Amino acid sequence: MNDSVCPVDATEELLRECENIWKEMEKCQSKLTLLTAEPVPESDTKVLLLLTRMQALRAEYYQWQKRNPELISTNPKVLLLLGEEEEVKKELEMVLSAVQSKNEKLKEDLEREQQWYDEQVQIVNAFKEIEEEMKKEVVTDSEKRLFQELKNQMSELREYKKKLLNALGEFLEEHFPLPEKNGNAKKKRYSEEPCEQVITMHEILEILLNQLMSTPHEPYVTVDDSFWPPYLELLLRSGIVLRHPEDPNRIRLEAFHE
């Protein structure tokens, strides 16, 4: 511990030695001024004072040119502190040089990437122009045949859909007719008596299907007196229709197409 260097003590000692040297310089300057001072007329005082100062500075300049650099202090602790500061300075200069070199390399990489990006943009624009020109060209015979085949398939699908809807309508009309107030024995098995303005099972399903297709984000329909409860209960039990989780008076068709 006694041989360790204390940076604070070394710095204070270095400052004291600098102050002592500065004081000696001030004393020498004062002596030089007194030696060169001569009684002069009052009108030439400023000029002579400036000339005296110029001569003193010139003499000091020549003196410093002849002197060789000397160590301010011979204290090992002070010299070690100065050496550490010089070493840190060199390391910082090396780091600065490395960072500057890296920045130059990054700048070159950025310029190269920017050039590549500009080339890619030009290629994309060229492809877009080619695409626009191809769209304007006349459709080939093969494309016409393909388009006609798709058109025929769409027509067949529409016919098939129409047949399915007709078959579904006939089935519902036969097995789920419009409930009447004075029906046969088969209809009287329901305990609830239908109202005069109830709708058929076909109409119920059509309303739910249209609601699901037109507004899939809001497929629920509010139940009113036109929905005959036995039909509604049958749809709910068979899983074709679902109730709203928060409002039991609203129902929706199960999304079998998803």
- Please give the residue range of the domain that contains residue 203: 176-253
pTM of the model: 0.37
Whole-angstrom distance, CA of residue 73 vs CA of residue 16: 10
Q: Which two tokens stand for residue 166?
A: 């007709």
**Final residue belonging to a domain, choices 20, 55, 74:** 74
Is 24 a domain residue? yes
Q: What is the pLDDT of residues 159-206, one digit of tens each?
A: 988 888 788 778 877 777 776 655 443 444 444 454 558 888 888 888
Is 163 a domain residue? no
Question: How many structural domains are present in the chain?
Answer: 2
Tokens 């004075």 sit on residue:
182
Give the model's pLDDT for residue 58.
79
Is 47 a domain residue? yes
Would the pLDDT of 69 be above 70?
no
Is 211 a domain residue? yes
In a 10 Å sphere around its CB, with 0-12 CB exposed, 13-18 middle and 19+ buried, how is residue 207 labelled? middle
Whole-angstrom distance, CA of residue 41 vs CA of residue 47: 11
Is 103 a domain residue? no
**Final residue belonging to a domain, choices 59, 74, 89:** 74
CB atoms within 10 A of CB 78: 20
With the CA atoms of 147, 149, 153 and 156 taken in that order, what torsion angle do they form, in degrees rounded to the nearest 10?
Answer: 120
Is 138 a domain residue? no
Q: Report which secondary-structure segment, H or E, holds 250.
A: strand 250-253
Is 21 a domain residue? yes
Long-range CB contacts for residues 61-64, cutoff 8 Å, separation at least 24: none
Determine the angle formed by the axes of helices 141-175 and 201-214, rounding to 10 degrees.
140
Q: What is the pLDDT of residues 74-133, one digit of tens each?
A: 666 666 666 666 777 787 888 888 888 888 888 988 898 898 889 889 999 988 888 887
- Taking the alpha carbons at both ends of the chain, their separation in whole angstroms is 83
Is 209 a domain residue? yes
